[in-house]
Amino acid sequence: MEHQHLPSFPHLEPLIEELDRLSGTAFNTVMLEVFRRRAAQNQPGRLLRQWMENRFVRPAQSNVMALKALELQWLQFAEKHAFKPVILSPVAPLGVCSGVAAVHQNNVVSSLRGTEVVSDATNVLALLAADFFKNGSSPETHYATTHRHLRAQAFDNPAFSAHFSAFCMLSAGKDTGSHMFEYEQLIRHIHINRRLITSALPNARLRLHWFVTNTNHPLAQRFIDEKTSFDGMAVSFSDKTNFAYYHPLQFKLYAETPMGELDLADGGVVSWVQQLTGNQKLRTVISGIGLELVANLQNGQGI
C-alpha cells in the first residue's frame, strides 16, 4: 500500500505503518481511546478558542431563510422532473471520493468507524445508484439532493468557507447504444441547472463551456459537431485532456454578475457506478450547483 509520507515528522512513519496494519475494529478502538483522552483535556476556555479559530466549525454567514427557501424550491423542481430527492447522512464510507474519483484523501475530513465527512454528495449518490442497480430491475434512476459539504483543502479567498451548501443531481442508467443515455442526460442536466439558476438570478447571463477530456470520443464529437443549441445561451469548447475526473466531457455554467463572471454549476460524465458495480454497461451523469453562492447572489451578499 502506498502512503503519503510526512516529511516534517519522519519519526512518525513507523507508528503510521503499525496503525495501518491494525484491523478496522482494532484501529477504531485505539483511535476512540486517543480521542477520549484528548477530549478530556479540553477545558471550556480551550473549547471556546477552538470554536473561534477552527475554520471547520465556524458557522456560515449566509442568509438562513433565503438559503432554505431556495433549497426547497430546487428540490421540488427536481422532483417534478423525475429526480428523487434524498437526504444523505453527514458521513459516507471512507474513501468514497478517493476510491472512484482520484481525489486525494487529505482533501476530505476523515473520521472513525470507516467513515469520512461528505465532501461531494454526487459520490454518495453514485453509491445509492449502485445499490439500486444491484437490487433493482429499472433501466435507469435519478436522484437529487442538497447537502452541506465540508472540504479540508485551504482556500486562498478568505471569503470562502470550509463548508458550503450545494445542490447535486445524478442520473445513472444502462447503455442504450451510441452513447444516447449520456447525451440525453447531459442535455437534461444542463437545462435543469440553467432553469434553477435563472429562476434565482433572472438578470444573470449564462454561458455554457464544454471541457473535452477525450477529443476522439464519439460523444464529445457529437456535441462539437452538432453544436447543440441551448436556447440562445453562448456555448464554447476547450480541451482538458489531462483531466481524469470526467470522461469524455465536463460542462460548466458561468454567469455574468455584478461581481464578474462566476462559475456556478459543474457536471459531466463519470464512470463511478460502473466501478462500484463492476457492470460496464452502466452510465453516469452528475451535476452540481453552488446553492449557497446563488442564494448569496440573489440576496446581494456577494460571495
* Cα 172 to Cα 273: distance, rounded to the nearest angstrom: 7
Per-residue pLDDT at 3: 42
- Specify burial of residue 59 (Cβ count, 10 A radius: 0-12, 13-18, 19+): exposed
Residues of the chain with pLDDT under 70: 1-8, 155-160, 241-242, 301-303
Per-residue pLDDT at 104: 82
Per-residue pLDDT at 121: 96
Task: Retrieve residue 44's grid coordinates.
Answer: 471550556
User: What is the pTM (predicted TM-score) of this model?
Assistant: 0.89
Per-residue pLDDT at 2: 40
Per-residue pLDDT at 209: 95
Q: Where in the chain is the domain with CATH 3.30.930.10?
A: 64-298
C-alpha 251, offset from chain centre: 14
- CA distances 124 to 53, 87, 115, 214, 250, Å, are 30, 11, 12, 25, 19
Give the helix ranges, DSSP H, for 83-228: 98-101, 121-135, 180-200, 218-226
Residue reference for cell 477525450 = 214
Fold designation for 64-298: BirA Bifunctional Protein; domain 2 (3.30.930)
Per-residue pLDDT at 47: 87
* Cα 34 to Cα 219: distance, rounded to the nearest angstrom: 51
Per-residue pLDDT at 38: 86
- Specify burial of residue 131 (Cβ count, 10 A radius: 0-12, 13-18, 19+): middle
